[in-house]
Amino acid sequence: MSKYNAPLTDMRFVMFDLLKAEAQYARLPGGETATRDVLDAVFDEAAKFAEQVLAPLNAVGDEEGCHFDKTTGTVTTPAGFKQAYAQYISGGWGGLTAPEKYGGQHLPESIGAPLKEMLDSANLAWGMYPLLSHGASEALKQHGEEWQREVFLKPIVEGRWTGTMCLTESHCGSDLGLLKTRAEPAAEGNGADGTYAVTGTKIFISAGEHDFTENIVHLVLARLPDAPAGTKGISLFIVPKFKTGKDGKMRERNAATCGAIEHKMGIKGSATCVMNFDAAEGWLIGPPNRGLMAMFTMMNTARLAVGLQGLALIERAYQNSLVYARERLQMRSLSGAKFPDKPADPLIVHPDIRRMLFTQKAFAEGGRALGYYAATLVDLVERSPDADERKRADELLSFIIPIVKGLLTEVAIECTYAAVQIFGGHGYIHETGIEQFARDARITTIYEGTTQIQALDLLGRKIMQTQGVGLKHFLEEISAFCHANAQNAALAEFVAPLAIAAKDWADLTQAIGKRALANPEEVGVAAVDYLFYSGYVALAYFWARSVAAADASAQSGDFKQAKRSTARFYFARILPRTLTHAATLRASAESLMAMPDAQFG
Amino acid sequence: MSKYNAPLTDMRFVMFDLLKAEAQYARLPGGETATRDVLDAVFDEAAKFAEQVLAPLNAVGDEEGCHFDKTTGTVTTPAGFKQAYAQYISGGWGGLTAPEKYGGQHLPESIGAPLKEMLDSANLAWGMYPLLSHGASEALKQHGEEWQREVFLKPIVEGRWTGTMCLTESHCGSDLGLLKTRAEPAAEGNGADGTYAVTGTKIFISAGEHDFTENIVHLVLARLPDAPAGTKGISLFIVPKFKTGKDGKMRERNAATCGAIEHKMGIKGSATCVMNFDAAEGWLIGPPNRGLMAMFTMMNTARLAVGLQGLALIERAYQNSLVYARERLQMRSLSGAKFPDKPADPLIVHPDIRRMLFTQKAFAEGGRALGYYAATLVDLVERSPDADERKRADELLSFIIPIVKGLLTEVAIECTYAAVQIFGGHGYIHETGIEQFARDARITTIYEGTTQIQALDLLGRKIMQTQGVGLKHFLEEISAFCHANAQNAALAEFVAPLAIAAKDWADLTQAIGKRALANPEEVGVAAVDYLFYSGYVALAYFWARSVAAADASAQSGDFKQAKRSTARFYFARILPRTLTHAATLRASAESLMAMPDAQFG
């Protein structure tokens, strides 16, 4: 059975030594209480909960899955899930970063990053329930009227209710402009009571129905009568499972029911529901026809969260791979027996096993730096008293989010693949728990926008539509880092290639931009390669910074040496992936676009 | 539900236009009857069986899995599997390439390649049963005494019995030198009756127990008393499920029983058994202590077969991806609506969807050329009357097998991943049948030697230990092709980069060889990158040849243009992967090997 130990040392290194989060918290509203000793205690407690409560339920959830009762429309979660949720709520985890006014502790958002990583490493499927609540909270916080926050946000923060995001319909996923669910002002008083009748079917609704809480708050995208076609005619509605009015009183069951749950490749403990809305009572949230905008604000944090899911699975895969690579004896080292007293050497002596372990380690620790970095930008966007700082952080965050989501989920596929490979045949059977990571990971490159969507978001919106303002900020950071360390001999081996990679990145972006002006298809042709290219260079930056931060820290000698060795591995054996992406980015669009569709076969 | 249509046009193109198999058959013993019209009929019939009988059982097998009855030790295969096997046998498919003397039709081995591809595309799990019989047949054919062939080979060829290969034990997979199963001359007459008592436990035994046939012939690796330690003390034994003597009469149940079946990530319709041998009656096959050699001869064909499994899954993934990419409407082309009359454009207009489809197509068709090429070498090794030709073919085959197995299974992971990605959320649920391909594919890079083992076989044995004789033959072929087409303007765009790639391949091999002489670890450090590098260049050769063969063929204009477009895609957007592998191959071993194991964490 696979284990999990929260990597607290590295988490703290990233938060405090690398990102200097403590100093940032000290100057942000709500961050005053986030002192180092408080955070240490929070992390310790979260680790205990993840390791002792959630991790043992991971295989259970996969084996048992969720149960759907067709006659009652109810969903029963796997054994232990409901109790774990109760513990989570009673521990106060649900409201950690929510406003005090609605029952939260108002800690900075980025404190949620290591917590989220721990929950997801321990049990990705279970982690979906609080994740969706968090998304719904964000929407309510940012777009709800005051009474909506009182009535719907508060019980979510308190954990008494949970939330969902109801976007997808069977004929539209990436392309929400096609959605058909409609909302009509309720007949009584022609909508004068403010309610709407929401009708339609949504699919792939995570946590759409479950047994954790007494009520569920669905946030549903739908069209008002006479709304414009496409994405400009979509509004957002609050549709509670049990009708709830402005007085906050739960009334009778709403016509928002679960019609089925999906049987999936992984995250089987997460209930993925078909939701039927049959003139269900709902409330408009935010302005009419601006629902997609509201959803987009939620999406930023949701995409960051899915990037952290990727990180979480990489870490879990790495831990288990490492234990096995040390225990499993198989063949001798090519340079002679390393453990002559044993019948064979452990796997870890073999170079390609080391390559896979190093790859996992480099993406886990580098990905942690990248992911938490993005989370600290969220703090600045939300809480910085300085408008310029808020603006810059927002531009940087918007730019970095598709990289975090796209890269960390794609390399999670690679790293969970590697775990199965290291375990060999034993990795392919349920018993060891390893193949579950690969199945669970597989959804992360799809939901909250596929890798393709992330790539188009990065290159099409975040680069082309803003003249690359976020990239400019990021390159300035890299440049400042390189400049500050120009005389640091101990860092020269990283700073020099990083400076070159950053320059190439800028040049390549320019070149693509020029071609895209001539032919809009070029953006789509280049997008995915550009996403990977950007991700690998971004991680090179964080690896160089990690070595610098480790050297300057009070961490152990082994810790510092391991950071340096892993950075060397990264620069020598991962960063060269940019060569292929750069070559492909220089290839003509013709090679992809010229063949008539019919000739595919 | 996913469909399958045998790609007969491309299969025939590869066999007859590209590889000129008909001409080769005409001059080989047993090949005289393999005329084009006979083969056309054989392929048509095989396609019908695969499409109509096996393909519909694919999802059934995955959903239902195999059933194990603990009290009786029996395994029941999924509904329909047994009947399909009966049809397969009554259709004469089991003995197609086996010697006539033992009930086969003695057709050249390579005719089995497209058949195997069809069976595996249709139903990989079901295909495991005949595959294991084929492996056991090979061992009996090549290493069995005459009576052993009469008694054990004949019923397998006739399909009345099946075979297994019992290698792995719980503590040893890649490292068979560690195996503990023992065989002692039977007490009666001190082994004078020729039987042995085989005792031990084998795991991961495909088709170890099932309900297809009345008897199962296990080929079991075990140690004789006082056998040398390690791989030089392993012998091979025939252990039938029901004791069978030299008279061929099945007697009572042997103590070779199934103790459990594994619950796996995929190929759930294939029974993967724990086999307990408890002083089971067995017969030595081949010389004592040379069992691993005997297994290696089987392994060559088994590894080719697993390479073809990879190909089969790529083809199936591609077909389904293509259908969906044409049907599913989502968003508009970046260069303006392509189907303005529809609510959105089909996925296939989007560049990155095209990239994934092209990748699948390039690996399916290029992989088919590579895989079938290897199969035609098997014909020459087994049947050529010319000793020099046999020797050269054997050297080429030994060299190419780890590339076929390693590359085609690894890219099968990529291509089944792409299928899920193209289907989006719909690919992640069981209902569409797409995620099954990814789960089924996941075993192919593990069994019959992991990718790491293939890579070490390629670089360590096939290059280093033979001074690269197989590579030399292959590079000569490429050189001859480039030379023959030097004046062909229509091929220049492929011939020029191919010639460069071939030269780089030779140079890189030399450089690695030199480093490996100084440090044996270098082989392990370089192996996997070298395998991929070699595979991508090999496919470039087959893509260039495919364009040439298509141009010279009577195929349709669309067919020829599609080959050319796909080759362009391959050279522009897949072959550049060699840049990263080459850079990594040039990196110091230090970056991988220097860090002490303890610092991994």
Q: Which sequence spans correspond to the domains of chain B? A: 55-91+123-289, 467-590
Query: Could B265 and A335 be called an inter-chain contact, meaning their C-beta atoms sit closer than 8 Å?
Result: no
- Contact by Cβ (8 Å): B217, B152: yes
**A595 phi and psi angles, rounded to 5 deg:** -65, 130
Residues B197-214: pLDDT tens digits? 999 999 999 999 999 999
Query: Could B580 and A579 be called an inter-chain contact, meaning their C-beta atoms sit closer than 8 Å?
Result: yes
Distance in angstroms (rounded) separating the CA atoms of residues B534 and B453: 15
Class of domain A56-91+123-289: mainly beta
At residue B191, does pLDDT exceed 50?
A: no
* Bridge partners for B285 per DSSP: B236
Residues in B touching A322 (Cβ below 8 Å): 600-601
Give the confidence band of A190 by pLDDT, cuts at 50, 70, 90. very low
Nearest CB to A520 within list B335, B424, B583: B335
Residues A200-253: pLDDT tens digits? 999 999 999 999 999 999 999 999 999 999 999 999 999 999 999 999 999 999
Distance in angstroms (rounded) separating the CA atoms of residues B461 and B455: 9
Q: List, as ranges, residues 255-274 from A with C-beta within 8 Å of B.
A: 262-266, 272
| pTM exceeds cut of 0.95 | yes
The string of DSSP codes covering B46-57 is HHHIIIIIITHH
Give chain B's end-to-end CA distance (angstroms, integer): 45
- Contact by Cβ (8 Å): A536, A577: yes
**Can you give the pLDDT at residue B188?**
63
- Cα nearest neighbour of A596 on chain B: B562
Nearest CB to A421 within list B334, B349, B445: B445
| Model-level ipTM above the cut of 0.95 | yes
* Bridge partners for B201 per DSSP: B276
Query: Could A265 and B523 be called an inter-chain contact, meaning their C-beta atoms sit closer than 8 Å?
Result: no
At residue A1, does pLDDT exceed 90?
A: no
Query: What is the average pLDDT across A456-461?
Result: 97
At residue A191, does pLDDT exceed 60?
A: no
The catalytic position among A315, A395, A448, A522 is A448
At residue A296, does pLDDT exceed 90?
A: no
Task: List the alpha helices (DSSP H) in A281-386.
Answer: 291-327, 351-383
- Contact by Cβ (8 Å): B405, B49: no
For B84-214, strand residue ranges (E) read 161-166, 182-185, 195-206
Distance in angstroms (rounded) separating the CA atoms of residues A423 and B540: 32
B562–A contact, CB cutoff 8 A: yes
- Cα nearest neighbour of A570 on chain B: B591
Distance in angstroms (rounded) separating the CA atoms of residues A91 and B77: 48
> How many Cα atoms occupy the beta-carbon half-sphere of A292 within 13 Å?
16
Nearby residues of B335 by Cβ (< 8 Å), 6 or more positions away:
A519, A520, A521
A597–B contact, CB cutoff 8 A: yes
Give the confidence band of A364 by pLDDT, cuts at 50, 70, 90. very high
The CATH number given to B55-91+123-289 is: 2.40.110.20
Q: List, as ranges, residues 369-398 from B with C-beta within 8 Å of A.
A: none
* Residue whose C-alpha is closest to residue B152's, from B169, B138, B168: B138
Q: Are strands A161-166 and A215-222 parallel, antiparallel or unpaired?
A: parallel
B525–A contact, CB cutoff 8 A: yes
Measure in Å the smallest separation between the Cα of B300 and chain A Cα atoms. Answer: 20
What is the percentage of chain B residues whose pLDDT exceeds 70? 99
At residue A488, does pLDDT exceed 90?
A: yes
Nearest CB to B355 within list A413, A592, A598: A592
Distance in angstroms (rounded) separating the CA atoms of residues A154 and A159: 8
- Cα nearest neighbour of A180 on chain B: B343
**Can you give the pLDDT at residue A334?**
93
What length is written for chain B? 601
Distance in angstroms (rounded) separating the CA atoms of residues A476 and B13: 55
Which amino acid does the sequence have at B257? T
| Residue B248, token pair as written in the block | 């061929």
A-B CB pairs within 8 A amount to 278
Residues B326-378: pLDDT tens digits? 999 999 999 999 999 999 999 999 999 999 999 999 999 999 999 999 999 99
Give the confidence band of B297 by pLDDT, cuts at 50, 70, 90. confident
> How many Cα atoms occupy the beta-carbon half-sphere of B569 within 13 Å?
26
Query: Counting beta carbons within 10 angstroms of the beta carbon of residue B22, is it exposed (0 to 12), middle (13 to 18) or buried (19 or more)?
Result: middle
A70–B contact, CB cutoff 8 A: no
A576–B contact, CB cutoff 8 A: yes
Residues in A touching B519 (Cβ below 8 Å): 335
Can you give A128-140 as a three-state secondary structure string? HHHHHHHHHHHHH
**Can you give the pLDDT at residue A291?**
95
Distance in angstroms (rounded) separating the CA atoms of residues B147 and B164: 19
Is A150 annotated as catalytic? no
* Bridge partners for A206 per DSSP: A272
Residues in B touching A176 (Cβ below 8 Å): none
| Residue B305, token pair as written in the block | 């077969």
Query: Could A425 and B528 be called an inter-chain contact, meaning their C-beta atoms sit closer than 8 Å?
Result: no
* Residue whose C-alpha is closest to residue A382's, from A23, A29, A144, A20: A29
**Can you give the pLDDT at residue A192?**
53
Measure in Å the smallest separation between the Cα of A169 and chain B Cα atoms. Answer: 11
Q: Taking phi first (over 0 means left), then psi (-120 to 50 degrees means alpha), and beta for anything else, what does residue B106 get?
A: left
Is residue B123 classed as helix, strand or coil in its secondary structure?
coil
